[in-house]
Amino acid sequence: MLTRRKLLTTVFTGSAAFVGGAAAARAFSTEPMPADVAAAYALRCGGNVGGHDALMRSARSTLDGEIAKGLKPVGAQEIVVCPICGCKMVVSADSTL
């Protein structure tokens, strides 16, 4: 049986834990980027053209496969966003399909 004392102890302990945990959850910190990541971001589009080509090849291959399976229409296009610089590129299917 749950007594009033157990109930009040449980409520007090739970609320104290919640308040203590809430203070820690509000913490937000920033850290400096590692040098290689900072260099990749600094290059942005100018130095990432090879990365853009690879990203577009991968997206085109995926799109071609979806068209071949009948999941997308023949003239389908996709917008691909570079994860490094945020450039948006439109990828269309290979014309041989």
Task: Identify which has the larger pLDDT, 50 or 91.
Answer: 91
Q: State whether residue 4 is helix, strand or coil.
A: helix
Q: What percent of the chain has pLDDT over 90?
A: 12
At residue 97, the pLDDT reads 44
pLDDT at 91 over 80: yes
Q: How far apart are CA 54 and CA 17, in angstroms?
A: 50
pLDDT tens digits along 35-74: 888 777 766 666 556 678 888 889 999 999 999 999 999 8
Cα 49 versus chain centre, distance: 21
Instruction: Return the amino acid letter for 40.
Output: A
Task: Look at residue 69 in the predicted model and tell me its pLDDT.
Answer: 92
CB contact burial 12-44 (16+ within 10 A = b; e otherwise): eeeeeeeeeeeeeeeeeeeeeeeeeeeebeeee
In the predicted structure, residue 9 carries a pLDDT above the cut 60 = yes
CA 46 – CA 77 distance, rounded (Å): 25
